[in-house]
Structure 1
Amino acid sequence: MSRTGLGRAGEAHAARFLEAQGYVLLARNWRVREGELDIVAREGDTLAFVEVKSLRTRNYGTGEERVDARKRQRLALLAERFLAAHPDLAYRQCRFDVVVIDYTHRPAQIRLYRNAFDLNG
């Protein structure tokens, strides 16, 4: 499976998992010039910007390690763009979640990190 195919399969897997956890999906693969948000969802009154990391090897670190400071800053910028494009959602509390789909295990392991990071640290 190609890297793009793995990413898309992981995002679909994550979407099903999040819906089973009670999330309401609002957008998938939302794109602007600066990049893409994998999933935007609502959990209760909280808007969650969800980054999905799919692993088939650990040669490049864990999925959690791949959401580094540079990636967090990019996600923050994309979240701002999304909120500007959807002012009806701007009043909600927002957070950043990370879902890791680890295909190095059989069956695949799914790890969800609610409020995985904030922009202050």
Structure 2
Amino acid sequence: MTNDKKENKKTFGSEGEEIAAKYLVEKGFEIIERNYFAGHGEIDIIAKDPSDGYLVFVEVKTRNTMDYGDPAYAINKKKMIQLKKLAELYLAEKNILEQDCRFDVVTVLMINPDNPLIEHYENAFM
């Protein structure tokens, strides 16, 4: 993959994350942190769900076609394990001991960029 393609993919992913963050805020979520990096991984969005007080680790998947199926299916077992480890690192780093947490997935399908289709899968995996 050339640097231009990598940069375009990163920009496209960032656009999807921005759309997802705005969507969550509109639902009442409080965005705590975005693009939390640790080791070789990243948590796209960390937010607080006002309805239950959960700390939510959100993975965002953005696509502009359905050629490879629903973007939610891009999150495999390896990615889930990585996200769990990153969440543990985040909780340890922030000294958060007693907090209910969950993992959500937000997919952004930008077939029509002016009207992206957003799906929010709460408690997507454990």
Q: TM-score, length-normalised on structure 1? A: 0.91
SS in 1 for 2:73: coil
Q: Are the equivalent residues in 2 in contact too, given 1:47–1:93 (CA < 8 A)?
A: yes
Alignment of 1:9 with 2:15, yes or no, is yes
Q: CA-atom RMSD, angstroms? A: 1.4
Alignment of 1:50 with 2:38, yes or no, is no
Aligned to 2:98: 91
Q: Are the equivalent residues in 2 in contact too, given 1:53–1:101 (CA < 8 A)?
A: yes
State how far apart, in whole Å, the 2-side matches of 1:50 and 1:41 are. 8
Q: 1:87-107: per-residue Cα shift (whole Å, max 9, x none)?
A: 1x3311000000000012462
State how far apart, in whole Å, the 2-side matches of 1:9 and 1:108 are. 11
Unmatched 5+ residue regions in structure 2?
A: 1-6
User: Considering only CA atoms, is the larger Rg found in Structure 1 or Structure 2?
Assistant: 2
Unmatched 5+ residue regions in structure 1?
A: none
State how far apart, in whole Å, the 2-side matches of 1:3 and 1:61 are. 18
State how far apart, in whole Å, the 1-side matches of 2:63 and 2:111 are. 7
Which structure shows the higher helix fraction? Answer: 2
Q: 1:51-71: per-residue Cα shift (whole Å, max 9, x none)?
A: 000001223332110011111
Q: For residue 114 of structure 1, report the CA deviation from its aligned partner.
A: 0.6
Identity of aligned residues (%): 35
Q: 1:12-69: per-residue Cα shift (whole Å, max 9, x none)?
A: 1100000000110000001111311000001131000000000012233321100111
Aligned to 1:78: 86
Alignment of 1:107 with 2:118, yes or no, is no
